[in-house]
Structure 1
Amino acid sequence: MTDEDVAPEQGELAITRTGDRLRLAREAAGLSLADVATRTRITQRHLSAIEKSDFSELPGRTYVTGFARAYARAVDLPEAEVGAAVRRELEEDANGARPLYEAYEPTDPTRLPTARMTWTLVIIALLLASAYGVWRFLSVEPGEALIAAQNRAADASEAPQSDAAAPPTSKTGSPQLAIAADAPVVLTGLSEVWIGFDDATGKTENWRTLDPGETYQVPPAYIDQFTLRTSIPQALKVTVGGRDVGAIGPADTLVKGVSLKPADLVARAEGNGAPSTAAPATAPLPKG
């Protein structure tokens, strides 16, 4: 057997983590980390951490599986398979961190643990079990448990919404200035914030997180098909054609069904009393 016959087998054995598989798929497709970041809207720093399977570098384990699945879609790998593999690795990492203990022989009285050591081991085991349960709950993809929980809480905590279909008017009751239908809608994270895009049935089809200072221009297709939701409205700045529309809901309150159409967002800005960058309309002269 030649060296050339052995090399491929050693290369396959070297791929032990899902991050290695994603990196090799990216390189085979001729893509850079910047290319994948553009496709997934995930920062290069987080993508690099996924390739290294260094999940501690990510903003929270809640997002690890979702980020990995988005990466898999970008390089044409089966996202469900990649997501399941990442969950297994997270579970293996958590189990590997548990302390080992020596098994004592009941027949040897000199090696029996003291009552104090026994209680210490019991307390440690309970703490580890509690921590593992919390981790398992938080590690479920946002597309499954987190979004479902927000939908269940919506009726109780949803912010009051104005009628977006009503024709926008200024404080004087006259129609406000028209806004271009294709005016860019830009979302900016004031701190780390989760945002989702709901379809006509209220189901969240797309979601992402924005880092502090990160901007995201909403695609035209999203403006026509989806509405915006977030649970931290005070951490999100929304602008239309460079104009700040103001707060889209009370702080720390789930808001949903926010129309992304420029005219509706400007109408919301008028209702919030947000400053306008447009020239003021001339008031009509009083009739003689």
Structure 2
Amino acid sequence: MADEEAAPEQGELAITRTGDRLRLAREAAGLSLADVATRTRITQRHLAAIEKSDFSELPGRTYVTGFARAYARAIDLPEAEIAAAVRRELEEEAYGARPLYEAYEPTDPARLPTARLTWTLVIITLLLASAYGVWRFLSVEPDEALIAAQNRAADESEAPDGDAATAPATKAGTSPAAVAASAPVVLTGLSEVWIGFDDAQGKTENWRTLDAGETYQVPPAYVEQFTLRTSIPQALKVTVGGRDIGPIGPADTLVKGVSLKPSDLVARAEGNGATGGAAPAARPQPKG
């Protein structure tokens, strides 16, 4: 009898992570991971990592909260509550990763690793970190049209007499209709932030991560063919012709369908009441 009474309590205690709650709600709704992936446009691999609360499997912690919000919205769970729970788990994980202090006896110097072995381990670690960075950068490859657009934009940015380098920055208060179609659109990371570009059907064709202070000038082909999406809008600054258009959405919310056309961005800026002055157009920074 004691074992039978203890079993339900153990089952309740086992459901302690936010990922378990999301998984049970999905199963109760009769949905598969593929169904949720279709609704959220998040890969099944990342959704499975969220269900396991294994945030190390995700590309970056800065938008774990955004993915969790999108998952919760897809299965009718409260987004704010799920986001708060995920933040707590991230804090607990960071606290659990701190090394504990342990008293120890002095070690026999003869048993310590040699300097050569130490440097070998350091070099191997750096090589592995570099390999991981290259793999992460190349894990999602743009199609040939996007590569061609990026190459054209790079060539234009290096041209000595290019219009983009000599054109004056757009002044605050300029009407959307007066904005030149060639005004540069620049994205700047205020902190590490994930951005994606969606086609007319809402499919994300390409994505990248901007580090804090890194800028990216949107290629002209992207401006005409794609819209912007991000899960941390407060970490992204958008300027057109040097003018800050202001926030593109509420904090910690998945924002998509943001037009990259200069006239639309200026109209959004005036709707936000943005008053940022003119600034020189930022050149695109290469990915390290």
TM-score by length of 2: 0.42
Return the index of the structure with the highest Cα Rg: 1
TM-score by length of 1: 0.42
Bigger RCO of structures 1 and 2 (CA < 8 A, at least 6 apart): 2
